[in-house]
């Protein structure tokens, strides 16, 4: 795709629905008794992978426009899949479904695309094995992975990583355990599982960084309205801040405290962002955001805030390129095991445009203020790398070519249409 520079972004629009919440609504709806209606569902490739997996496990799931209707089967009503379950590019699907499958009465094999087959599964194999399941994985760490369930026991697990996928996998297995299951994290990761499982009738409690789930007889269907995804809004927040003359309103953005780290970082960098119309929908806080072009300055992003913005670091890195001074990103080694090694891919690709980035084992140092020039860029089939490179390229001094840009369909199918609709190009 050819990306030509833009002069400003303006208008009022909504961004796509939250990926994490959409996944969970399908999973919990499938396990509940009764019919769950999900409105404003994200029809991105990852969430469609979750729907396909649960259809293969015998769940009747109907899709009509952006609404999904699920005839739940109950906690013990899933049926064996004739095929290996294909989780596509979705780490959330593989890791969360593994917890659920550990509590079933049949074995299941999971796999996914080339990226999924490189992502670490030991982080869930260890706790789920401690609970009693047997997980056979390639090199004990990678998909394809077969889960042989067993009577599960409740455990107290000190997770070495702040990962909502690991935490959720264990909590979902905990629904089937013989006693309470506790996960203690080094820092609090996104809490959509805790919020939504509570709405479906499970007993989940939190004390500091520890979350405990009680074993559960049944979950009960409830209707879900999915808010907009702050991880998708991130690209337009940053594009609005760095493109002179921009003035945007992004509607219906989820600002759950475990997800809103980017907002706090961009405000600290001097970003002119105002949140208004704050309200709560289905237990999740949302708002509208006005974003105006701003002169940004560098900052340090580290410590407990990292899990609240882990998916937004590619967008933050682009903001830092247009900020005065240095931005330090630390404590973010998890970036190395995302859809691509995002420290490596951001460094390699942004450097081609003239960016000054020093990669670190757990982050990067970005020296802002150097003009970007046109280059031929590669997304590595990583949706967030594709979108980060695009907003950087929109503000380069000459056109860029981005290879494999269609992977934005993983989380933001209409990214390029929205960008086109709300931006003015130099040539127009
Ligand atoms: C997700 C959790 C995060 C995030 C991913 C979605 C989720 O991963 O990067 O895009 O829905 O639970 P980790 O929990 O492994 O950090």
Could you identify the atom of ligand 1 that is nearest to the CA of residue 337?
A: 15
Q: Is 123 annotated as ligand-binding?
A: no
Q: Which residues are catalytic?
A: 311
Write the residue with the smallest CA distance to atom 15 of ligand 1. Answer: 163
User: What's the gap in Å between 187 CA and the centre of ligand 1?
Assistant: 14
Per-residue confidence (pLDDT) for residue 427, from 0 to 100: 56
Per-residue confidence (pLDDT) for residue 159, from 0 to 100: 98
Sheet of 356-360, strand order: 300-301, 326-329, 363-367, 356-360
Instruction: Identify which of 28, 92, 259 to mutate to test ligand 1's pocket (most ligand atoms within 8 A of the CB).
Output: 92
User: What's the gap in Å between 189 CA and the centre of ligand 1?
Assistant: 8
259-308 confidence digits (pLDDT tens): 999 999 999 999 999 999 999 999 999 999 999 999 999 999 999 999 99
Could you identify the atom of ligand 1 that is nearest to the CA of residue 334?
A: 16
Average pLDDT over residues 359-379: 98
| First-to-final CA distance of the chain | 18
Does the pLDDT value for residue 386 go beyond 80? yes
DSSP state of 9: E
Could you identify the residue written with the tokens 């049949």? 106
Per-residue confidence (pLDDT) for residue 308, from 0 to 100: 98
255-272 confidence digits (pLDDT tens): 999 999 999 999 999 999
Instruction: Decide: 390 and 3 in contact? Cβ < 8 Å.
Output: yes
Per-residue confidence (pLDDT) for residue 195, from 0 to 100: 97
Q: Where are the alpha helices (DSSP H) in 285-382?
A: 313-321, 342-352
Does the pLDDT value for residue 426 go beyond 80? no
User: What's the gap in Å between 163 CA and the centre of ligand 1?
Assistant: 6
Average pLDDT over residues 132-137: 98
Per-residue confidence (pLDDT) for residue 33, from 0 to 100: 98
Does the pLDDT value for residue 156 go beyond 60? yes
Per-residue confidence (pLDDT) for residue 345, from 0 to 100: 98
Average pLDDT over residues 228-248: 98
Q: Is 278 exposed, middle or buried (0-12, 13-18, 19+ CB in 10 A)?
A: exposed
57-100 confidence digits (pLDDT tens): 999 999 999 999 999 999 999 999 999 999 999 999 999 999 99
Nearest to 57 by CA among 113, 116, 110: 110
- Give residue ranges with CB within 6 A of ligand 1: 20, 23, 92, 163-165, 168, 189-190, 310-311, 334
- What mean pLDDT is reported for the chain? 97
Other C-beta atoms lying within 10 Å of the C-beta of residue 392? 29
Instruction: Identify which of 22, 123, 190 to mutate to test ligand 1's pocket (most ligand atoms within 8 A of the CB).
Output: 190
User: What's the gap in Å between 40 CA and the centre of ligand 1?
Assistant: 20
Per-residue confidence (pLDDT) for residue 425, from 0 to 100: 77
Per-residue confidence (pLDDT) for residue 268, from 0 to 100: 98
Query: What is the number of helices (H) and of strands (E) in the chain?
Result: 12, 25
Average pLDDT over residues 248-253: 98
Q: How far apart are CA 1 and CA 211, in angstroms?
A: 44
Provide the percentage of residues in the chain whose pLDDT is more than 90.
98
Q: How far apart are CA 283 and CA 172, in angstroms?
A: 19
**Backbone dihedral angles phi then psi of residue 311, each to the nearest 5 degrees:** -80, -10
pTM for this entry: 0.97
Does the pLDDT value for residue 309 go beyond 80? yes
Take residue 181 and report the two structure tokens written for it: 């299951």
Q: Is 363 helix (H, G, I), strand (E, B) or coil?
A: strand
Q: Is 338 annotated as ligand-binding?
A: yes
Does the pLDDT value for residue 125 go beyond 50? yes
Instruction: Identify which of 91, 169, 172, 192 to mutate to test ligand 1's pocket (most ligand atoms within 8 A of the CB).
Output: 91
Take residue 68 and report the two structure tokens written for it: 């999904």
User: What's the gap in Å between 370 CA and the centre of ligand 1?
Assistant: 32
Could you identify the atom of ligand 1 that is nearest to the CA of residue 20?
A: 11
List C-alpha distances in Å: 12 to 188, 288, 332, 343.
32, 10, 33, 32
Q: Is 20 annotated as ligand-binding?
A: yes
Q: How far apart are CA 22 and CA 299, in angstroms?
A: 32
Nearest to 226 by CA among 15, 26, 38: 38
Does the pLDDT value for residue 335 go beyond 50? yes
Per-residue confidence (pLDDT) for residue 233, from 0 to 100: 98
- Confidence band for 428, pLDDT divided at 50, 70 and 90: very low
Provide the percentage of residues in the chain whose pLDDT is more than 70.
99
DSSP state of 210: E
Nearest to 321 by CA among 229, 407, 397: 397
Write the residue with the smallest CA distance to atom 4 of ligand 1. Answer: 311
Buried b (16+ CB within 10 A) or exposed e, 249-260: bbebbbbbebbb
């Amino acid at each position: 795709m050819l990306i030509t520079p833009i002069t400003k972004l303006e208008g009022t629009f909504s961004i796509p629905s939250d990926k994490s919440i959409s996944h969970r609504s399908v999973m919990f709806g499938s396990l509940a008794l009764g019919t769950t209606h999900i409105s404003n569902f994200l029809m991105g490739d990852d969430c469609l992978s979750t729907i396909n997996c649960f259809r293969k496990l015998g769940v009747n799931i109907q899709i009509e426009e952006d609404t999904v209707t699920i005839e739940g089967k109950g906690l013990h009503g899933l049926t064996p899949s004739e095929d290996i379950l294909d989780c596509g590019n979705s780490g959330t699907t593989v890791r969360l479904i593994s917890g659920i499958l550990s509590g079933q009465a049949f074995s299941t094999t999971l796999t996914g695309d080339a990226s999924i087959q490189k992502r670490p599964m030991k982080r869930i194999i260890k706790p789920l094995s401690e609970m009693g399941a047997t997980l056979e994985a390639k090199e004990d760490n990678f998909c394809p992975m077969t889960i042989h369930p067993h009577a599960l026991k409740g455990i107290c697990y000190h997770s070495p990583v702040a990962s909502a996928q690991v935490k959720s996998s264990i909590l979902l297995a905990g629904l089937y355990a013989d006693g309470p299951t506790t996960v203690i994290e080094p820092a609090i990761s996104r809490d959509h599982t805790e919020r939504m499982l509570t709405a479906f009738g499970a007993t989940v409690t939190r004390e500091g960084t520890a979350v405990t789930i009680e074993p559960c007889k049944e979950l009960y269907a409830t209707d879900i309205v999915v808010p907009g995804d702050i991880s998708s809004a991130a690209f337009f927040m940053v594009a609005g801040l760095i493109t002179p003359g921009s003035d945007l309103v992004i509607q219906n953005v989820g600002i759950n405290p475990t997800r809103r780290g980017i907002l706090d970082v961009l405000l600290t960098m001097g970003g002119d962002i105002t949140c208004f119309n704050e309200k709560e929908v289905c237990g999740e806080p949302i708002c509208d955001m006005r974003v105006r072009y701003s002169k940004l300055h560098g900052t340090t992003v580290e410590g407990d805030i990292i899990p609240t913005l882990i998916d937004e670091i590619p967008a933050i890195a682009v903001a830092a390129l247009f900020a005065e001074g240095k931005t330090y990103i630390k404590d973010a080694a998890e970036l190395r095991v995302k859809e691509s090694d995002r420290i490596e891919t951001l460094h390699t690709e942004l450097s081609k445009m003239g960016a000054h980035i020093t990669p670190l084992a757990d982050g990067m140092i970005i020296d802002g203020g150097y003009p970007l020039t046109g280059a031929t860029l590669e997304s590595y089939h990583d949706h967030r790398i594709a979108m980060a490179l695009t907003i950087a390229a929109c503000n380069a001094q000459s056109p860029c070519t981005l290879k494999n840009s269609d992977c934005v369909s993983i989380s933001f199918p209409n990214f390029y249409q929205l960008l086109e609709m709300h931006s003015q190009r130099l040539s127009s």
